[in-house]
Amino acid sequence: MNNLIIAFVLLFTYTINVYGQPSAILESKVSSILNEIMTIKGINNNIVLRENPDIQFAEAEVSMGTNYLYYNPDAFGGLLYLEEGEREWSLIFILAHEVGHFFQEDNDEKLNELNADKFAGSVLCAMKAPINEVEIAITIHDLKANGSYVSKSTRRIYARKGWEGGCSIEKVTSNKARELEDFFETINKELEEKDYYKKDKSIQKIVVKSYSSDGNPLSTYTDSRDNRTYNIVKIANKWWFAEELKFDSPNSKCPYDLEKYCGQFGRYYQFEDALQMCPRGWHLPKFGEWVELLDHYGGYFLSTPARLDGSNAYNKLIIGGESGFNAKLTGRVNSGYHNHLKVRGSYWVNQFSQNGESFSVSGIMFDGRDDPRDPKRVFLQNYLVEDHYMPCRCIEN
Ligand SMILES: [Zn+2]
């Protein structure tokens, strides 16, 4: 009888979860990440870890003076399913969020959730995660307070506050980060001085002219710098260019340096250039603005089970799709080479992140390869700022 119980307990302990992480290995991984979080924040680890398959990802609970942190082994196993060399940032964020709950004393449940996000943001910053990893974690992680859903846009603001607040020391010590920030500041000041901005004083009133096949308002916008008219589309309450920007800046390029391709696919810009090229009243979309657009059509692909495969967004947003957004397989220039034209489309995002000495942007990739293993889909891709020329879309201010 006793032997049977022991055998049963062993079987339970060594159950393999769906992602092939034996429970004991997963537990030691989770436990070492938890230690890492506590060490980096300089707090004592008096937290007891426990598996619980009935929760989404993790939950914190204080019971009889003991801090318990429960996690779902299957869900956590899925977050460990990574490409080589990547860190499990979403798992770290979610664990840190729960640890953050042990330091909250507010009666307002929603505020507790947001402050736990802020804490988690500061942990990711201290562990040198790029800011887009904070955004990705929030995209995966659903939360409720007082039984109602906590909005992801507010959570992003708090988590970002934590990340930015925590990273302030880092910014001063890193010359390159300092340099780049100064650069962005200067750009914003210079924008107002530029001739082609002065010409475009009037903000044009947008009049809806027709609708896309799934009902999005369509119109046109004329860039008074060069009198070029663009199709525009309103999706999830925001007007977007429904074409790639073609404004001819001195540093921009055409795909394969052929003018006819500029007409078809728009111009390629360097990141610094892309930041300033949208006409007055418009800007290069921020990461969260892209995410809202993609979420409107079921989200983008991410290699965790919590995320949809990004193929619905691809089908709706690609040229000819029902949304009227008409994304194209624009290609790009990477380290001097033109590639991906008519196979993949890449778009700049107004947000850089630092990883060691290099600066990258989490751009948006429309993957239109005919690959029997993967559907055509939208995903996020890290682009090194210095190496790339890519197209851009504009969104209304
Ligand atoms: Zn929470």
Q: What is the 3-state secondary structure (H, E, C) of the chain?
A: CHHHHHHHHHHHHCCECCCCCEHHHHHHHHHHHHHHHHHHHCCCCCEEEEECCCCCCEEEEEECCEEEEEECHHHHHHHCCCCCCCCCHHHHHHHHHHHHHCCCCCCCHHHHHHHHHHHHHHHHHHCCCCHHHHHHHHHHCCCEECCEECCHHHHHHHHHHHHHHHCHHHHHHCHHHHHHHHHHHHHHHHHHHCHHHHCCCCCCCCCCCEECCCCCEEEEEEECCCCEEEEEEEECCEEEECCCCCCCCCCCECHHHCHHHHHHHCCEECHHHHHHHCCCCEECCCHHHHHHHHHHCCCCECCCCCCCCCHHHHHHHECCCCCCCCECCCEEEECCEEECCCCEEEECCCCEEEECCEEEEEEEEEECCCECCECCEEEEEEEEHHHEEECCCCEEC
Task: Tell me: do 195 and 158 sit in the same domain.
Answer: no
Of 143, 171, 199, which residue is a domain's last? 171
For residues 86 and 109, state if they share a domain: yes
User: What is the separation of C-alpha 172 from the centre of its chain, rounded to a whole number of angstroms?
Assistant: 25
In this structure, the number of other CB atoms found within 10 A of the CB of residue 107 comes to: 7
Determine how many CB atoms are found less than 10 A away from the CB of residue 202: 9
**Rounded distance from Cα 119 to ligand 1 centre (Å):** 11
Domain co-membership, 235 together with 325: yes
Whole-number Å distance, alpha carbon 40 to ligand 1 midpoint, is: 20
| 111 CA → ligand 1 middle, Å | 10
- What's the gap in Å between 97 CA and the centre of ligand 1? 6
- Residues whose Cβ atom is located within 5 A of ion ligand 1: 113, 116
Q: How far is the CA of 171 from the centre of ligand 1 (A)?
A: 29
Distance 334 CA to ligand 1 centre (A): 41
- Judgement on whether residues 352 and 221 belong to the same structural domain of the protein: yes
148 C-alpha to center of ligand 1: Å?
A: 12
* Tens-binned pLDDT, residue by residue, of the chain (397 aa): 444 444 443 344 344 444 455 688 889 999 999 999 988 888 877 899 999 999 989 999 988 889 999 999 988 888 876 666 778 999 999 999 999 998 877 777 888 888 899 999 999 988 888 888 888 888 888 888 877 778 887 888 888 888 877 664 333 334 544 555 566 566 556 655 554 444 454 567 788 999 999 999 999 999 988 999 999 999 999 999 999 999 998 889 999 999 999 999 999 999 888 988 998 889 899 888 898 899 899 888 865 544 567 899 999 999 999 999 999 999 999 988 999 999 999 999 887 666 555 667 778 889 998 887 778 998 877 788 878 999 999 999 8
Q: Are 266 and 243 in contact (CB under 8 A)?
A: yes
Spacing, Cα 142 to ligand 1 middle (Å): 9
Distance 49 CA to ligand 1 centre (A): 16
Q: What is the whole-number distance in angstroms between the Cα of residue 93 and the centre of ligand 1?
A: 11
Domain boundaries, position 159: 2-171
* Domain final residue pick, 171, 206, 237: 171
Are 163 and 186 in a shared domain?
Answer: no
Co-location of 380 and 256 in the same domain: yes
Using the mean position of ligand 1's atoms as its centre, give its distance from the Cα of residue 143 in Å: 7
Q: Given this model, what pLDDT does residue 126 score?
A: 87
Which pair of tokens denotes residue 71? 């996690």
β-pairing, 282-283 vs 395-396, is antiparallel
CA of residue 139 to ligand 1 center, whole Å = 14
Whose CA is closest to 350, among 390, 303, 298? Answer: 390
* Ligand 1 center–CA 237 separation, angstroms: 29
Question: From the CA of 63, how far away is ligand 1's center (Å)?
Answer: 16
Residues 149, 9 within the same domain: yes
What's the confidence (pLDDT) of residue 361?
74
Q: What is the distance in A from the centroid of ligand 1 to the CA of 113?
A: 5
**Separation of 360 CA from ligand 1 center, angstroms?**
30
Examine the fold and report which residue of 115, 147, 171 is the final residue of a domain before the chain moves on: 171
CA distance 60 to 297: 33
**How far does residue 261's CA lie from ligand 1's centre (Å)?**
49
84 and 52 within one domain? yes
Using the mean position of ligand 1's atoms as its centre, give its distance from the Cα of residue 13 in Å. 27
Q: Residues 340, 368: one domain? A: yes
112 torsion bin: left (phi>0), alpha (psi -120 to 50), beta (else): alpha
390 and 244 in contact (C-beta within 8 Å)?
no
Structural domains in the chain (count)? 2
Q: Find where tokens 């390159």 sit.
A: 176
Same domain, 98 and 192: no
Asked if 217 and 343 sit in the same domain, the reply is yes
Q: What is the pLDDT of residue 5?
A: 43
* Whether 190 and 336 share a structural domain: yes
